[in-house]
Every structure is written in structure tokens, then in C-alpha cells.
């Protein structure tokens, strides 16, 4: 579990073995079964998460029972609820494993310590935050300006890996439409080649 993380991180950022060891000491390894929930809506998301294997999602449930998926996080990605994690506030989201997964966790305090101790780690996370911001802005622009068909088409192009691994109704939920609408879009889309 940690070896996969080590391999990945060394590709991303040049870190010494000592640096990696510091991160290992503070890390918590966890195995999740499919459908297992890591953070329940209303709980504090105490961890920054690195997914070494499998796939997580975060979603909210409204009063009427409808689910709305905020994010998919496959292997070799970082994940958390930033608002809950940063402020130790109850999370609006449920974080669930969609496949049998393996994750590494760090608490906020430990992560702060690591960022202060390991040169380059702050810059690494800053770059990730910048990229995440780009993605968020793009998703907003798409939400307000694209047709459902365009959103679907972009999703399967940009997230072919996720598309192949999650049920369609979750893609519909991520895009903000019902599964029936997505089904209609797909019909028209496949016929139109």
C-alpha cells in the first residue's frame, strides 16, 4: 500500500528517502471494501486521503433521497473534503468506496507537520490545489454553458477510466441530470455515431 504511494510520489516530486520515511511514520493505511463508507455526511473528515488502489466518490443526499456526486477519486489521486478537513467541521459529503480500495490517511496536524518539515511538499500541494481549481472552474463553465450532450461527451473523453468503472446513473448524478435523461442522450449519441 505505502510502496505504491512511494513510487507515485517519487515520480511527482523529488523527495529524499528520509522525507518519505517521515510521511510513512505519520501515515495510516486502510483497506476499504466496495460500498464501505469512509466518511458519513455529518461527520468530520479528519483525513487527507491518498488512494493507492480502487475508487472513491463523494456525494450528498438531499431530503428527497436524491444523490449528487461531487467527485470521483481513483488510484493515485489525493482526496478529502477540504471544508471539513480544514475547519474540522461536519462534512456535507459522504465518502464511499466504489470498488475494493486501499487508501493512506494523514491527519491535519500530521500533514501540517510534514509540510513544514519537508522542503518542496508545500509547493507540491500548491500545484495540486491550482490544478484542482482549474478543474473546478472548467466544470462550472461547462455546467452553465454546455448542453447535457456536450457534458456527457466531454466526460467520456476526459474521464474514460471512470466511465468504464462506474454505473451510468452515477455519471448522470455527476453531470446533474437524471439517469433517464442520460439514457436518452446516449441513445441519440450512439445513433448519431
The binding site for a second copy (CB under 8 A) comprises 60, 62, 66, 68-70, 82-83, 86, 92, 126, 129-130, 132-134, 136-137, 139-141, 143-145, 173-176
Task: Find the Cα–Cα–Cα–Cα dihedral 103, 49, 88, 134, rounded to 10°.
Answer: -150
Integer Cα distance of 50 and 5 in angstroms = 8
Q: Strand 47-53 relative to strand 67-74: parallel, antiparallel, unpaired?
A: unpaired
The least distance separating a second copy from the CB of residue 33, rounded to whole angstroms, comes to 27
Among 40, 143, 147, 160, binds DNA (CB under 7 A): 147
Q: Three-class SS string for 55-93?
A: EEEEEEECCCCCEEEEEEEECCEEECCHHHHHHCCECCC
Closest CB 142 distance from DNA, rounded Å: 13
State which of residues 174, 186, 189, 193 lies at the interface with DNA (CB under 7 A).
Answer: 186
Hey, CA dihedral for 19, 130, 106, 158, is it positive or negative? negative
State the binding partner of 68 from a second copy, DNA, none, CB within 5 to 8 A by kind: a second copy
Cell (9 digits) for 160: 474514460
Which segment (17-25, 79-87, 108-116, 169-177) binds DNA by CB under 7 A? 169-177
Write out the residues near DNA by the rule CB under 7 A. 33-35, 147-149, 167-169, 176-187
Amino acid at each position: 500500500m505505502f510502496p505504491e504511494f512511494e513510487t507515485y510520489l517519487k515520480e511527482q516530486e523529488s523527495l529524499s528517502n528520509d522525507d518519505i520515511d517521515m510521511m510513512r511514520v505519520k501515515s495510516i493505511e486502510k483497506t476499504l471494501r466496495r460500498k464501505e463508507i469512509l466518511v458519513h455526511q455529518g461527520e468530520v473528515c479528519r483525513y487527507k486521503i491518498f488512494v493507492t488502489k480502487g475508487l472513491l466518490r463523494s456525494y450528498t443526499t438531499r431530503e428527497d433521497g436524491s444523490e449528487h456526486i461531487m467527485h470521483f477519486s481513483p488510484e493515485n489521486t489525493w482526496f478529502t473534503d477540504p471544508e471539513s478537513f480544514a475547519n474540522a467541521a461536519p462534512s456535507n459529503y459522504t465518502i464511499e468506496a466504489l470498488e475494493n480500495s486501499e487508501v493512506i490517511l494523514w491527519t491535519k496536524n500530521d500533514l501540517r507537520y510534514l509540510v513544514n518539515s519537508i522542503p518542496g511538499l508545500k509547493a507540491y500541494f500548491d500545484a495540486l490545489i491550482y490544478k484542482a481549481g482549474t478543474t473546478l472552474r472548467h466544470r462550472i463553465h461547462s455546467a452553465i454553458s454546455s448542453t447535457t450532450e456536450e457534458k456527457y461527451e466531454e466526460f467520456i473523453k476526459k474521464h474514460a477510466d471512470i466511465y468504464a468503472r462506474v454505473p451510468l446513473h452515477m455519471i448522470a448524478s455527476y453531470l446533474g441530470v437524471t439517469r433517464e435523461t442520460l439514457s436518452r442522450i446516449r441513445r441519440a449519441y450512439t445513433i448519431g455515431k
